[in-house]
């Protein structure tokens, strides 16, 4: 009697029970790859992007970038955290008395917010020796910048900070800076999410999609 297995040709693939044939394996791999790509797209679409900002400056011109970027990112759906350290910690005080210093800042234009249009368009290159020796020059430059921003409809730092808080931006104060400069916590706004150190904030920055140092 002829054995059944001897009737198979050598070209026919043999599979053990529970194994895929080459055709079945190819079909399964195609289905798996498509399913995996779909799940990854769904996961990416459902994930909340994040941004971490380290704010280190306390002048009015350097106060705008962190709050503008933070409030904009929050409006776009980002999970945003700002770590205020060294002079940047001043941006969390209840009473903001920020100035701008043109000294050593050659990129800063000195344009007048008063007078006819042609006069306002003039850049006034003021030598450093004038900036450093003219009493009250920084106060004057600060007043001119604030007036220019108001005329252009730019929000104040206080307004941007409030907008950031309302949008869910988390504000963190550097505890080391508080201790080093002898600040009093009651002088700061109540919206601070935490008084932390670098060791606490760095893991947040590590997991963020975007990290900025300002």
User: Per residue in 117-172, pLDDT tens?
Assistant: 765 665 656 655 455 555 566 677 777 777 877 877 888 889 999 999 999 999 99
Most confident segment among 6-10, 41-45, 152-156: 152-156
Per-residue pLDDT tens digits for 161-209: 999 999 999 999 999 999 999 998 899 999 999 999 999 999 989 989 9
At residue 65 the predicted structure's pLDDT band, cuts being 50, 70 and 90, is: very high
Label residue 99 by pLDDT band (50, 70, 90): confident
- CA angle in degrees (0–180, nearest 5) for 131-133-135: 90
Distances (CA, A) of 41 to 30, 46, 49, 53: 17, 9, 14, 27
Rg (CA), the chain: 30
pTM above 0.75, yes or no: no
What is the strand order of the sheet 79-84 is part of? 192-196, 170-174, 79-84, 50-55, 210-213
Going by C-alpha positions, the residue among 163, 173, 150 that lies closest to residue 69 is 163
Q: CA triplet 173, 54, 199: central angle to 5 degrees?
A: 65
Q: How confident is the model at residue 84 (pLDDT cuts 50, 70, 90)?
A: very high
Query: Would you place residue 22 in the very low, low, confident or very high pLDDT band (cuts 50, 70, 90)?
Result: confident
Query: Helix, strand, coil shares of the chain as percentages rounded to 5?
Result: 50, 15, 35
Q: Is the pLDDT of residue 54 over 80?
A: yes
116 touches 103 (CB < 8 A) = no
Report the alpha-carbon distance of residue 58 to residue 195 in Å, rounded. Answer: 18
The two tokens of residue 131 are 């900036």
Tell me what pLDDT residue 151 has. 77
Q: What percent of the chain has pLDDT over 70?
A: 69
pLDDT of residue 147: 81
Q: What is the mean pLDDT of the chain?
A: 79
Confidence of residue 212 (pLDDT cuts 50, 70, 90): very high
Alpha-helix residue ranges (DSSP H) falling in 82-214: 117-120, 128-133, 137-151, 157-166, 175-181, 198-207
pLDDT at 1 exceeding the cut of 80: no
């Amino acid at each position: 009697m002829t054995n059944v297995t001897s009737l198979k040709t050598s070209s026919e693939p043999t599979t053990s029970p529970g194994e895929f044939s080459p055709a079945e394996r190819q079909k399964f791999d195609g289905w798996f790859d498509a399913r995996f790509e779909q799940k990854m797209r769904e996961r990416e679409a459902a994930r909340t992007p994040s941004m971490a900002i380290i704010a280190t400056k306390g002048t009015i011109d350097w106060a705008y970038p962190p709050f503008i970027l933070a409030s904009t990112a929050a409006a776009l759906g980002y999970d945003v955290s700002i770590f205020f350290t060294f002079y940047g910690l001043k941006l969390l005080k209840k009473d903001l008395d920020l100035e701008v210093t043109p000294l050593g800042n050659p990129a800063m234009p000195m344009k007048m917010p008063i007078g006819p249009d042609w006069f306002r368009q003039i850049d006034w290159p003021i030598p450093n020796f004038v900036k450093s020796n003219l009493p009250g020059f920084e106060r004057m430059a600060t007043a001119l910048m604030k007036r220019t921003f108001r005329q252009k409809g730019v929000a104040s730092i206080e307004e941007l900070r409030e907008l950031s808080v309302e949008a869910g931006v988390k504000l963190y104060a550097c505890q080391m800076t508080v201790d080093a400069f002898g600040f009093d916590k009651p002088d700061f706004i109540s919206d601070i999410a935490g008084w932390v150190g670098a060791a606490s904030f760095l893991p947040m920055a590590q997991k963020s999609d975007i990290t900025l140092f300002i």
